[in-house]
Amino acid sequence: MDFRQHTASLDALASVACDALLVVVAGEKAERTLDTTLARLLADAVAHGDFEFKRGKTVLLHRPAGVKAARVVFAACGAATPKSLKAAFAAGFGQLKGGGSKHVALAIGGAGDIGAEQAEALVAAVGETTYVYRHTKPSAPAAGALERVTLLCGKAAAKAVSQGLARGHAVAAGVTLARELANRPGNHCTPTYLGEQAKKLGKEYGLKVEVLDRKAIEKLGMGSFLAVAQGSAEPPRFIVAQYHGAAKTQAPIVLVGKGITFDTGGISIKPAAEMDEMKFDMGGAASVLGTLRAVAELKPKLNLVVIVPTCENMPGGRAIKPGDVVKSMSGQTIEILNTDAEGRLILCDALTYAERFKPACVIDVATLTGACVIALGHHHTGLFTADDALAAQLLAASTASLDPAWRMPLDEEYEEALKSNFADMGNVGGRAGGAITAAMFLRKFTGKYRWAHLDIAGTAWKSGAAKGATGRPVPLLTHFVLSQAS
């Protein structure tokens, strides 16, 4: 998709050359900011009950008199916040989706000055609206005609808008990559496939990418990770990808993504209902690879390392059993009380491995606990860290990227639930506060650097009629990484 900005006045919209003109209106006063022709069309739609100044309302006009564009869409956004504007953009493009418009020009009336945030929200909305999964579905609808989107703005805003469009394009491409990886079924997106995609990304952007096999993982002493992998015929992979945009002496940001390409629960097997959605259990891996792609496109002056431990969790004859004790790369032993708490078992070894990079900070991302879904639902990602400054930076990134997160507690008292009579710790601590005790488990492996954990179990995918990966938290992570650039 080609995104551009064009300097144009709102009082000359009728003469803009395009296939479709999308006009987002922020409140009833927006009518006064439009040219005479567009203001008349808007007033007429309101007078006939075809349009209201309420968020989400839209109207599509075909070949309106006096307008050069063949189609005009009005979309109401209510308050002119980036969040409301994004919803209006999505609603407006929803009216044009699948149509014959190749070039859509977009203007915002009544919102005052626009800038990078609004431009980025536009690209995100277009990406979300036009995305269709096709890899294993030949009968999926054909791609729409849309090729180009132009955001009309004033001369003073042109530079900021161009920057926002560039950032939005990179983030949207990262989100799309994450969605494509997570949406693929488990028999397609295997650990081997994820490794291949990481190498492909490395080749495209000149990144250093290593994909370690079982023998190399064994040599590292990752007993916890390998314990999860041993029940599956699919070989595990340990992916390490590096982007260098600053001096080698600069400490990197490290992102660690959980890569369980299918999770049956192992011996502690899950109920059959909705188990198909466990192909999304590598959403953390998908999101950190998507973030890597976005960062590599934008080329900020920083260093970034992405680590992905990836395997399946299966109930085979060699699978770990409840009561087994395994030794992690850190040397700490773990009693397996529930084999369905496997994500933390692969992440803990990756978190220990991250120490060798002497990182500025480490953020792990995982579809880790159903308990987080119960706590926060499907809107906010759970954020866990004992570092107040790091929490503030991540929350700021979540707000700026319209990818919301909510900070959860990490009080020391929660650690009591992980005590074991037979190992240094158990891998679960009971149902109460399950998302917190999972984070407390991971924290035991992060004592040598600044660390935060993002539980995306409620936000990485949607169920029901809209079933599919969301690509979150690529926007949050990208904004956070960019905020660390020198």
What positions carry a catalytic annotation?
270, 344
Query: Which of 234, 279, 235, 277 lies closest to 260, judged by CA?
Result: 279
C-alpha 313/C-alpha 261 separation (Å) is: 8
Tell me which H or E stretch contains 186: none
C-alpha 220/C-alpha 238 separation (Å) is: 11
C-alpha 390/C-alpha 387 separation (Å) is: 5
C-alpha 155/C-alpha 283 separation (Å) is: 41
DSSP assignment of 318-352 equals: T---TT-EEE-TTS-EEE-S-TT--HHHHHHHHHH
Query: 344 and 368 in contact (C-beta within 8 Å)?
Result: yes
Tell me the β-bridge partners of 454: 365, 383
Question: How many C-alpha atoms does 78 have within 13 Å on its Cβ side?
Answer: 12
Query: Which of 410, 174, 184, 398 lies closest to 304, judged by CA?
Result: 174
C-alpha 341/C-alpha 313 separation (Å) is: 10
Query: 23 and 91 in contact (C-beta within 8 Å)?
Result: no
97: number of Cβ within 10 Å:
16
C-alpha 284/C-alpha 299 separation (Å) is: 22
Count how many residues are written for the chain. Answer: 486
Q: Is 399 exposed, middle or buried (0-12, 13-18, 19+ CB in 10 A)?
A: middle
Distances (CA, A) of 400 to 54, 123, 376, 394: 24, 14, 20, 10
248: number of Cβ within 10 Å:
7
C-alpha 364/C-alpha 343 separation (Å) is: 11
Query: Which of 292, 313, 278 lies closest to 240, judged by CA?
Result: 292
Angle at 403 between CA 242 and CA 256, to 5 degrees: 30
Q: Are strands 237-244 and 208-212 parallel, antiparallel or unpaired?
A: antiparallel
Query: 461 and 395 in contact (C-beta within 8 Å)?
Result: no
